[in-house]
Amino acid sequence: MKTAAVVAALLLLVASCSGEPDLPPRELPPAGGQLDYQLGGAYQPDVPVKIVVRDRSKTIDGRRYNICYLNALQTQPSSMDGGLDWWRKNHADLLVKKPNGEVAIDPEWNEGILDISTGDKRNKILEIQKKWIKDCKTAFFKGVEPDNLDSYMRAEGTFDLNATKEFMKAFVRYAHEQGLAVAQKNTAELGDAGKKEIGFDFAIAEDCQARDECNAYAAAFGNDFFQIEYTDEGFRKSCADRGGRVSVIRRDRNVVPYGHDEYVYEVCPPTV
């Protein structure tokens, strides 16, 4: 009984020090732990892998720390709830429109942009996504990766980075209430605001070496960021610069599953 009381007191102390005494404890992915980024399809990861990122529609890997991917600011590229057709049918008023009335589309991924320009629209979108976040928790994911924080760049001027910050503050707060850690996905321009203002627990950065952005994540999150490089040059340079301290992997651009012709997965060689 004494041991249980001591543990409870320590958990309360940790929560109080974080400024969130009313929230349940949450577990962060192990800093420097080997990551596998499986957005193109789930498969059995290599034995050393400690962290797996999968789409919210997939089953977790029960032996590893699992991060639940969901598209927070754009439509899902599928027919499931959250796909472009689903938003058009059920919540067309929450999609960014071009001056001609057509839905604004991210041309690279053929995804619609969600309209977070007002507090009312942000609240409506979050109410929809609360179910998805809760589903991540129910499926035993420990973290959430909300994607496309940079959608303001493709939003036809409808909203800016400040609107993104406001939406993500509420998103992160709700995820924390479920006991889930939340990743900042890319968006190095947030600086330390991602951690200090919004409340992100760690970061997942794509091609930060190629974009000369890795130092921004290191400054904000220390070693609590996970790096995915899609080019050989960026991967080799990253391994030389921070391999062994920060988790760095090389993946194919479409993150296809193991067995696919385009599949690429590498980790930094051991440091001497």
pLDDT of residue 15: 41
pLDDT of residue 6: 43
- pLDDT tens by residue, 168-217: 999 999 999 999 999 999 999 999 999 999 999 999 999 999 999 999 99
In Å, how far from its chain's centre is CA 269?
26
pLDDT of residue 76: 87
In the chain, the domains with their CATH numbers are 30-267 (3.20.20.70)
DSSP letter, residue 70: E
The answer to whether 73 and 116 have CB atoms below 8 angstroms apart is yes
Identity of residue 37: Y
pLDDT of residue 3: 47
Angle at 148 between CA 88 and CA 214, to 5 degrees: 175
List CB contacts of 64: < 8 A, sequence separation 6 or more: 45, 49, 50, 51, 52
pLDDT of residue 17: 39
| 97, two tokens | 């429109």
pLDDT of residue 4: 44
d(CA 86, CA 243): 42
pLDDT of residue 21: 66
**What is the mean pLDDT, run by run of 10 residues, along the chain of 272 residues?**
42 42 92 97 97 97 97 85 92 97 94 98 98 98 98 97 98 98 98 98 97 97 97 97 95 97 96 66
| 217, two tokens | 């994540």
Hey, is 97 helix, strand or coil?
A: strand
Quick one: 168 exposed, middle or buried, by C-beta within 10 A (0-12, 13-18, 19+)? buried
Identity of residue 159: F
pLDDT of residue 156: 95
